[in-house]
Structure 1
Amino acid sequence: MYAIIATGGKQYKVAEGDVLAVEKLDVQPGDKVELPVLLLSDGKSTAVGSAPLQDKTVTAEVLEQFKGEKVRVFKFKKRKRYQRDKGHRQQLTKIKIASINA
């Protein structure tokens, strides 16, 4: 059984026991979080839409808060001796899918 969930403006395909990094959630490590389901499939049938998935959720456990890899932004103008180097590290949350409540 798998589900498509939405969090942080992105969609993820998850199954029970999966560990994934999502955009930062405002929760503490060890907390449980409920995520909305967009699609639910058990291999034989697939449920999509708000009516069949109204009471369906995915429960995940927060493992840690961390920063992702550094993304370098470098720009320059040739022959003008202008260059700018800037870095950014996105804040992420690592979660483990505990159960798919179907």
Structure 2
Amino acid sequence: MVYAVVRAGGRQEKVEVGTIVQLDRVQAAAGETIELPAVLFVDGDNVTTDAEKLAKIKVTAEVVGNLRGPKIVIQKFKNKTGYKKRQGHRQDLTRVKITGIK
């Protein structure tokens, strides 16, 4: 079993070849190839965490498309003062498909 943990958009994602992952928006068009930095690499029983060896590992991904996440409602309320505030947010996301771990 071969997989890697990559750093993407301030988070870490466990990926294998063929998995589809949603990341924070990446400035790339659909169909383009991007490279993600590896934090951990597992090849069977061998686990690689050394920074020098991880620099040689390339995790490539193909951009499938851009989308927006679900609406998040932010509400603030203070009792007995009449203070209410309502705000919404939708995160810009990019869906990528992992094409190779070398």
How does the TM-score come out when normalised to structure 2? 0.93
Pairing 1:15-94 to 2, within 5 Å after superposition: 15-94=16-95
Structure 1's consecutive aligned runs of 4 or more residues displaced over 2 angstroms after TM superposition are: 79-82
State the Cα deviation string for residues 42-94 of structure 1 (Å, max 9, x = none).
12211112111221110000011111001100011222222111100000100
Amino acid corresponding to residue 54 of structure 2 in structure 1: L
- Unpaired runs of 5+ in structure 1? none
Taking the aligned partners of 2:42 and 2:30, their CA distance within structure 1 comes to: 29
Which piece of structure 1 moves more, 73-82 or 16-25? 73-82
Instruction: State how many pairs are aligned.
Output: 101
Q: CA deviation at 1:38?
A: 1.1
Across the aligned residues of Structure 1 and Structure 2, the Cα RMSD in angstroms comes to 0.9
**Identical amino acids, percent of aligned pairs:** 36
